[in-house]
């Protein structure tokens, strides 16, 4: 049995953040009914299209395992249908700009009055405060949540990361809020409101940087490479390039083929516990005992030289060979894997983390499957729905409309 079988979700989400949340819940077996504007649908259906007139990968990769209904709750008949859907669903999820659901005529108080057991979950850019009315996209959240100010190199401008920590990260936070509220409802019988602001989600992911902000008051951050280079710290947590966040010096170093392959690099950590193994591996056995190299503190001002020596060794080897040699010696390292390499990696296909999905219009494409594996509740990946593919089916089986009612709603532009 799928873990969330029997849970019905009224999915008012669009773009990326909300859809990642409801897609996760759908993978766990929830019946996710995606409401889309008649004739238009989720804007991502048409964004970054690779094939003309076919739902984009942007849309298909974020809306698996859902059913699509076109419905305009701003029309009279649409509002009635929407009310019935609120009655019949366990959870409602939305990530419109602040106030949009209220303007549709369905503020939280009304939703709660219609169905006191419903869990109403929202993503906003910001929580209550000076920016609460702002519209927010991924990089805005990364910049306002502390990620950009702490990412990049000390001598460069702030940098946003390729991981969608604002959108998909907040979707993940919201999914946890929803299942927590569902668990609470099991005990209390009551629904509740779940809110997650993208800025808050990013701040949660940047926890160690707030830790470092406070440590700065008590002296320099010795594990940041700028300390060893004698560069003074300012007032805020600085950008640390590729320095390891775990308190052990780390760096990205070149491997064989770097001249032509932009991903021929490996992340290498000079973990203190295996310093002896590292010295043997890179051909510097004398560094094990040499004053100035034998202890982590003594090495701080030589980090650049040490990584240059490590790099001279890694440049003679393929990045996978570096990993093969380091792993048995417990030296932490990670080859820089490209999206191409990940797409072709057989073990990721085997676990269902990368899946091939068939689509009647676009043919087979790759997607990311459920990264969370439950031993008793398998999850499969089914293609995303066409716009309004399930409108009639859901209006009959969930809302209880007749063919005549459906025709009238269609005539009125409600669906
Ligand atoms: N039928 C009729 N109207 C519909 C509808 C439907 N089924 N679904 C949505 N709409 C309308 C809404 O009522 C709203 O209209 P209104 O502003 O006149 O009240 C409008 O469509 C949606 O508005 P909005 O959310 O402002 O869309 P946008 O494209 O202008 O902004 C975002 C997009 C993402 C910036 C904004 O939704 C937002 O800030 N969301 C919260 C943060 C977030 O999730 N950001 C990450 C996105 S990946």
Q: What is the chain's pLDDT, residue by residue, as a tens digit (415 residues)?
A: 999 999 999 999 999 999 999 999 999 999 999 999 999 999 999 999 999 999 999 999 999 999 999 999 999 999 999 999 999 999 999 999 999 999 999 999 999 999 999 999 999 999 999 999 999 999 999 999 999 999 999 999 999 999 999 999 999 999 999 999 999 999 999 999 999 999 999 999 999 999 999 999 999 998 899 999 999 999 999 999 999 867 789 999 999 999 999 999 999 999 999 999 999 999 999 999 999 999 999 999 999 999 999 999 999 999 999 999 999 999 999 999 999 999 999 999 999 999 999 999 999 999 999 999 999 998 999 999 999 999 999 999 999 999 999 999 999 999 9
Distance 226 CA to ligand 1 centre (A): 44
297 is catalytic: no
Q: Which two tokens stand for residue 180?
A: 């927590």
In this prediction, residue 242 carries a pLDDT of: 95
Closest atom of ligand 1 relative to the 166 alpha carbon: 46
Residue nearest to atom 39 of ligand 1 (CA): 135
In this prediction, residue 299 carries a pLDDT of: 94
Of 76, 97, 122, the one to substitute when testing ligand 1's pocket (max ligand atoms within 8 A of C-beta) is 97
b/e per residue 327-342 (b: at least 16 CB within 10 A): eeeebbbbbeeeeeee
Query: How many CB atoms are located within 10 Å of the residue 308 CB?
Result: 12
Residue nearest to atom 18 of ligand 1 (CA): 100
Distance 359 CA to ligand 1 centre (A): 27
Distance 37 CA to ligand 1 centre (A): 11
In this prediction, residue 244 carries a pLDDT of: 81
Task: Find all residues with CB under 8 Å of 303, minimum gap 6, and list them.
Answer: 225, 228, 229, 249, 251, 270
Give the integer Cα–Cα distance in Å for 12 and 108: 14
Write the burial class of residue 16 (CB in 10 Å: 0-12 exposed, 13-18 middle, 19+ buried). Answer: buried
Give the integer Cα–Cα distance in Å for 290 and 83: 75
Which of these, 295, 296, 288, lies nearest to 246 by C-alpha position? 296
Cβ atoms of 293 and 285 within 8 Å: the answer is no
- Predicted model pTM: 0.96
Distance 56 CA to ligand 1 centre (A): 19
Q: Which two tokens stand for residue 77?
A: 């008949």
Closest atom of ligand 1 relative to the 37 alpha carbon: 7
Q: Which helix (H) or strand (E) holds 325?
A: helix 319-326
In this prediction, residue 319 carries a pLDDT of: 98
Which of these, 161, 62, 44, 162, lies nearest to 365 by C-alpha position? 62
Residue nearest to atom 2 of ligand 1 (CA): 72
Closest atom of ligand 1 relative to the 100 alpha carbon: 19
Give the integer Cα–Cα distance in Å for 193 and 122: 8
Closest atom of ligand 1 relative to the 104 alpha carbon: 13
Residue nearest to atom 15 of ligand 1 (CA): 100
**Catalytic residue of the set 11, 31, 42, 167:** 167
Q: Which helix (H) or strand (E) holds 252?
A: strand 250-254
Q: Which two tokens stand for residue 360?
A: 């009647």
Q: Is the dihedral of CA 321, 325, 327, 328 positive or negative?
A: positive
Give the integer Cα–Cα distance in Å for 92 and 116: 12
Instruction: Output the ligand 1 site: residues, CB below 6 A.
Output: 15-18, 35-37, 71-72, 74, 95-97, 100, 103-104, 123-125, 135-137, 167, 198
Residue nearest to atom 12 of ligand 1 (CA): 100
In this prediction, residue 245 carries a pLDDT of: 64
Cβ atoms of 22 and 66 within 8 Å: the answer is yes
As a whole number of Å, the CA-based R_g of the chain is: 26
């Amino acid at each position: 049995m799928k873990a969330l079988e029997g849970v019905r979700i009224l999915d008012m989400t669009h773009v990326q953040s909300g859809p990642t949340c409801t897609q996760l819940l759908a993978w766990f077996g929830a019946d996710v009914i995606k409401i889309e504007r008649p004739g238009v649908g989720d804007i991502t259906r048409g964004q970054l299209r690779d094939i003309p007139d076919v739902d984009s990968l942007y849309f298909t990769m974020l809306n698996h395992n859902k059913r699509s209904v076109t419905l305009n709750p701003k029309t009279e008949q649409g509002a009635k249908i929407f009310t019935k859907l609120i009655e019949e669903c366990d959870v409602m999820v939305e990530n419109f700009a602040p106030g949009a659901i209220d303007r549709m005529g369905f503020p939280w108080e009304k939703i709660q009055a219609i169905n006191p057991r419903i869990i109403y979950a929202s993503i906003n850019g910001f929580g209550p405060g000076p920016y609460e009315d702002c519209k927010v996209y991924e990089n805005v959240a990364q910049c306002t949540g502390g990620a950009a100010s702490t990412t990049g190199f000390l001598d460069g401008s702030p940098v946003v990361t390729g991981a969608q920590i604002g959108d998909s990260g907040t979707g993940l936070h919201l999914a946890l809020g929803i299942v927590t509220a569902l668990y609470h409802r099991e005990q209390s019988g009551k629904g509740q409101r779940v809110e997650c602001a993208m800025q808050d989600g990013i701040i949660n992911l940047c926890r160690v940087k707030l830790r470092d902000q406070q440590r700065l008051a008590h002296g320099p951050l010795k594990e940041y490479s700028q300390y060893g280079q004698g560069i003074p710290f300012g007032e805020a947590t600085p950008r640390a390039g590729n320095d390891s966040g775990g308190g052990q010096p780390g760096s990205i170093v070149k491997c064989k083929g770097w001249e032509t392959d932009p991903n021929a690099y490996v992340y290498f950590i000079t973990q203190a516990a295996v310093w002896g193994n590292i010295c043997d591996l890179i051909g510097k056995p004398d560094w094990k005992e040499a004053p100035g190299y034998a202890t982590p503190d003594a090495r701080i001002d030589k980090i650049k030289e040490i990584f240059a020596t490590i790099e001279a060794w890694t440049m003679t080897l393929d990045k996978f060979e570096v990993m093969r040699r380091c792993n048995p010696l417990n030296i932490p390292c990670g080859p820089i894997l490209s999206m191409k390499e990940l797409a072709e990696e057989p073990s990721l296909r085997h676990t269902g983390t990368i899946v091939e999905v068939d689509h009647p219009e676009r043919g087979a494409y790759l997607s990311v499957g459920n990264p969370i594996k439950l031993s008793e509740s398998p999850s499969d990946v089914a293609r995303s729905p066409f716009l309004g593919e399930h409108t009639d089916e859901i209006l009959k089986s969930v809302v209880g409309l007749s063919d005549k009612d459906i025709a009238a709603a269609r005539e009125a532009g409600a669906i």
